[in-house]
Amino acid sequence: MILAELALTPPYYLVLSALMFAIGATGLLIRRNPLVMFMCVELMLNGVNISFVAFGADLNDVGGQISVFFVLVVAAVEVVVGLALVVAINRRRADATADDVSLLRG
């Protein structure tokens, strides 16, 4: 059985990571709803997390997992501040898309 000899080497994870990152980046450019754009950023961050863990496993070092831990914290803060911005913008004008708020002044 040829499949039994295959091992899960880093490239498998890295290709998956690249796919996830590219889908997230494309979504970020296509979508106009700021909430969905934030979700696409989460996709990109998760794609990178997979490659962090894969490199850490390849080097037999816990540093990759520590990096993912910090990315998680930063992603949480990013979502909190971003959603607060979305709520603040929506109070002024409902149905605002990302194109409508191209200027920082209201």
Partner 1 sequence: MAEFITFFFGAAVILAGAIGVVVARNAVHSALFLIQTLLGVAVIFVVQEAHFLAAVQIVVYAGAIVILFLFVIMLLGVDKAEDLGVEPIAGQKPLAVVLGASLLATAITFVLVATDGATGVGSGDPERQLDSGITDIERIGRVLFTEYAVAFQLTAALLTIGVIGAVVLTRSRSTADQLDDLEPASMDLPSLAPEGANDEHHVDTVEEDAS
**Interaction with partner 1 in 65-84: which residues (CB under 8 A)?**
65-66, 68-70, 72-77, 79-81, 83-84
Joined tokens for residue 12: 């498998």
Contact 52/68 with Cβ under 8 angstroms?
yes
- Based on the shown chain and the rule CB under 8 A, indicate whether residue 41 belongs to the binding site for partner 1: no
The Cβ of residue 61 has, within 10 Å, a number of other Cβ atoms equal to 11
- Based on the shown chain and the rule CB under 8 A, indicate whether residue 101 belongs to the binding site for partner 1: no
Q: Under rule CB under 8 A, which residues in 11-30 are in contact with partner 1? A: 11-16, 18-27, 29-30
Nearest distance in Å: CB 103, partner 1: 15
Residue holding tokens 């803060």?
Answer: 77
Task: Find the radius of gyration of the CA atoms of the chain.
Answer: 18
- Based on the shown chain and the rule CB under 8 A, indicate whether residue 93 belongs to the binding site for partner 1: no
